[in-house]
Amino acid sequence: MLDVIEWKDYLDYVIAVENDPDAVGLMIMTAGRIGIGGITQILQGDVESVLVDWQDENGDSPAKKSFDVVNLDFLGGFIGFGGVSDDKRVNAFRELFRRQAMMKNSFVLFLTVGFRESKGQEYDYKLHHIHKELREYGIDAEEALGWYLSHPTKHKVKVYVPFLVDEIAIANRFHLKRHMCFYYKGSGKVPMMHFAFDFEYSSKYISPQRLGLASLLDCPLYTAYADRAEPCASRPPPVKKAP
């Protein structure tokens, strides 16, 4: 609800999902206190289940068929955390994009996830996959690959999450116009990543333009502090474009 409070002057309707029953009542009270009780729906359960099943634990469905802004603040990481299977979380994204495509609704996606340094195998695999594809295009990313493999997991997550989300988006006719990545320390000093994505529905092309792999590797990572955000001092070497 802190996010809603910051955005309330720009919101026509709010659908919030909360899996803690004790917090649901507090959220309803907060919505009433800030004057948006009449335009707020609180659903109970985990957000993945609501997106996949299109109903919450009480059998209530979201009041809107699609959204202009989606803010997903996951418990745990994008994959392999929080008691939620990887398939369920990825399927929730697929269902979100499918429903947005049905309504031809372009949207902004905010995504917040935690991560663990020990969960790097999937990220390394994807980096090798990107490197192989670039090499087939005659693009030299060898130095950039070595840099990513030898640096902290936050840099790998910066590449992995947009890559995977973009693959799901393209399959549903969405083009990723721009995105930004932020790193910060959350509660208990847990490392967190926040992503901002701007997706545009393509009414003209069934398979719109994908996210450029070289630009994905070159994309800066920002570190967020209480009062500012700055580019990380450590940057990967630029990918050498084909002549």
- The angle at the Cα of 223, spanning 218 to 228, to the nearest 5 degrees, equals 125
- The angle at the Cα of 87, spanning 163 to 180, to the nearest 5 degrees, equals 25
Q: Which tens digit of pLDDT belongs to each residue from 132-169?
A: 999 998 999 999 999 999 999 899 999 999 999 999 99
Taking all residues of the chain, what is their mean pLDDT, rounded to a whole number? 91
CA distances from 74 to 44, 90, 233 (A): 15, 12, 27
Q: Which fold has domain 2-119+153-231?
A: Rossmann fold (3.40.50)
pLDDT at 84 over 60: no
Of the listed ranges 26-35, 118-127, 180-189, 219-228, the least confidently predicted one is: 118-127
Residue extents of the structural domains in the chain: 2-119+153-231
What's the whole-number mean pLDDT along residues 118-136?
86
pLDDT at 187 over 90: no
What's the whole-number mean pLDDT along residues 42-63?
95
What's the whole-number mean pLDDT along residues 5-15?
94
Element (H, E) at 218: helix 213-218
DSSP helix/strand/coil, 80: coil
Q: Which tens digit of pLDDT belongs to each residue from 17-26?
A: 999 999 999 9
- For residue 16, the model assigns a pLDDT of 96
